[in-house]
Amino acid sequence: MGKPTGFLEFERRAAQMRPPLERIRDWSDEHPPFEEATLREQGARCMDCAVPFCHTGVLINGAASGCPVNNLIPEWNDLVYRGKWREAIIRLHKTNNFPEFTGRVCPAPCEGSCTVGISGAPVAIKTIELEIVERAWASGWIRPEAPLARTGLRVAVVGSGPAGLACAAQLNHAGHAVTVFERADRVGGLLMYGIPNMKLDKRIVERRVRLMAAEGVRFECGVEVGRDLPPERLLGEFEATVLATGSTVARDLRIEGRELAGIYPAMEFLGRNTKSLLDSNHADGTFISAAGRDVVVIGGGDTGTDCVATAVRHGARSVTQLEILERPPETRAPDNPWPQWPKVYRLDYGQEEAAALWGSDPRRYAVSTRRFVGDAQGRVAGVETVEVEWHVGPDGRVVPRERPETARLVPADLVLLALGFVGPERALPEALGCELDTRGNVATGPDKMTSVPGVFAAGDCARGQSLVVWAIREGRHAAQAVDRYLMQGETVLPG
């Protein structure tokens, strides 16, 4: 695939970003374009490695190794190298309904398992993926493709995040009549209100939604099943139902001072910011502003990074991010070999922007939050922290232990909890009679069906909090299972 000696001849060139002090002045995800020759060189770096791991999509030690949607990466890298862009988007769409989303927000586990990355810089797979799909949109190659025939069977999809959209797109291609119910005022779920605009421009989401609508998918926004629509109507009016409601119950931090004003779940901060931005360019003042505030973000991961970047754009006085884990090493540790996801230190976009403003990475590692300290008005004024060290406990588990005399008070008049999620909201699955598993997720079998015949579940509500790319995979697999259920054991859909 590609040029056999390309990985020796060309250096890695990943997506270029504008300088951090420039991009924090707006909410755009624009970045400098690539030259055609540069992109073809990047495709040429994909070597003929015989047994590529980049598209395996398996879990090793709890993390993805390779692409969860099994993208045909060596094939479209070769096509890019040869300048066959139209053929490349055909290959890309075979496995991924929304490469314009994953090309922007996926952490690229494919690159972590790239063979070139064993002893050098991996192929810039994510960059190439995004360039393929954006060139396809610009060239008019992505057009509505309604199914040639309809089955007359109806499917309800509850939730319009990446899992729900992928499931709806696939089922529509199979000829079923699909209605997507979304309780928010815009389609997209996590893609719309969970990811900031500078990371995923909402016009990109709306562009794909318009295409799906033109292909025949019906979207009903502002409809919460269980409140605006009785759950039993799903069972009576549709031949199948797919729950794709996400994992939306935020993990809280129940420590002293939690009741103080000024402490918010990260998703409330991010969601209200995006809605206000889209509704009025922040003129309505309905968002939680970090302007002039000392902001403390508790928790890491993508959500924590997005909170840092959003607070910086608001004009925060300072931003501190607390992580209980130790700082990752600069290079792979001996117990983290290829093709596992490399657990190494990275300066993501939000931390890079904070460092450009204040001179250093805002993250403090190996720190535990003891309590929130308030002022006389009942607002949070600080966060008491203590350094921790990790050791093996009596039961064999690695647990944190406080280091003596390391307590510190961090000034904070806005605290954002980016601690992940504990599961889906239970009201709807319980109203439908769906069983939950031991983690509180909707229990499904290998065919994605719940304990209720004809009701399926996909995405974070079934597998737990995960990546957008895993949600797309879940949605595609659920669509295949639904199609097989509706068509008496046969399906025209890939997994």
pLDDT in tens, 335-384: 999 999 999 999 999 999 999 999 999 999 999 999 999 999 999 999 99
Is the pLDDT reported for residue 1 higher than 80? no
pLDDT at position 272, please? 98
Report the number of secondary-structure helices (H) and strands (E) in the chain: 17, 18
Instruction: Please give the structure tokens belonging to residue 458.
Output: 């996909």
Q: Are 155 and 175 in contact (CB under 8 A)?
A: no
pLDDT, tens digit, 9 for 90 and up, residues 272-307? 999 999 999 999 999 999 999 999 999 999 999 999
Decide if 6-138 and 154-248+422-486 have a common fold.
Answer: no
CA triple 60-439-170, angle to 5 deg: 70
User: For a pLDDT cut of 90, what percent of the chain falls above it?
Assistant: 94
pLDDT band at 182 (very low <50, low <70, confident <90, very high): very high
pTM recorded for the entire structure: 0.96
The pair of structure tokens assigned to 92 is 């890309």
Confidence at residue 199, expressed as pLDDT on a 0 to 100 scale: 97
**DSSP code, position 122:** P
Helix (H, G, I), strand (E, B) or coil at 406: coil
Select the CATH number that applies to the domain covering 252-419 from these four: 3.40.50.150, 3.30.360.10, 3.50.50.60, 3.20.20.70. 3.50.50.60
Query: What is the pLDDT averaged over residues 202-225?
Result: 98
Q: Give the domain ranges of the chain.
A: 6-138, 154-248+422-486, 252-419
The sign of the CA dihedral 472, 114, 331, 120 is negative
d(C-alpha 393, C-alpha 470), whole Å: 33
Q: What is the DSSP string of 278-337?
A: HHHTTTT--S---TT-EEEEE--HHHHHHHHHHHHHHT-SEEEEE-SSPPPPSS--TTS-
The class that CATH gives domain 6-138 is mainly alpha
Rg (CA), the chain: 23
**pLDDT more than 70, % of the chain:** 100
A 10 A CB-CB count for 438 gives: 6
Enclosing H/E stretch for 253? none
For residue 438, what are the CA distances in angstroms to 133, 244, 469? 40, 19, 24
Amino acid in position 435: E
Instruction: Look at residue 394 in the predicted model and tell me its pLDDT.
Output: 87
Question: Taking residues 457-476, what's their average pLDDT?
Answer: 97
Report the pLDDT averaged over residues 64-91.
96
Q: Three-state DSSP class for 59?
A: strand
- What is the structure's pLDDT at 279? 98
Q: Between the CA of residue 247 and those of 2, 60, 138, 265, what are the distances in Å?
A: 40, 22, 34, 14
Give the pLDDT mean for 441-452. 97
Does the domain at 154-248+422-486 match CATH 3.50.50.60? Answer given as yes
H or E element: which one contains 469? helix 468-486
- Write the CA distances from 13 to 67, 88, 179, 205, integer angstroms: 20, 19, 42, 26
**396: Cα within 13 Å, side-chain hemisphere:** 0
The mean pLDDT of 190-198, rounded to a whole number, is: 98
Structure tokens at 272: 């209200």
Q: Around Cβ 268, how many Cβ atoms within 10 Å?
A: 14
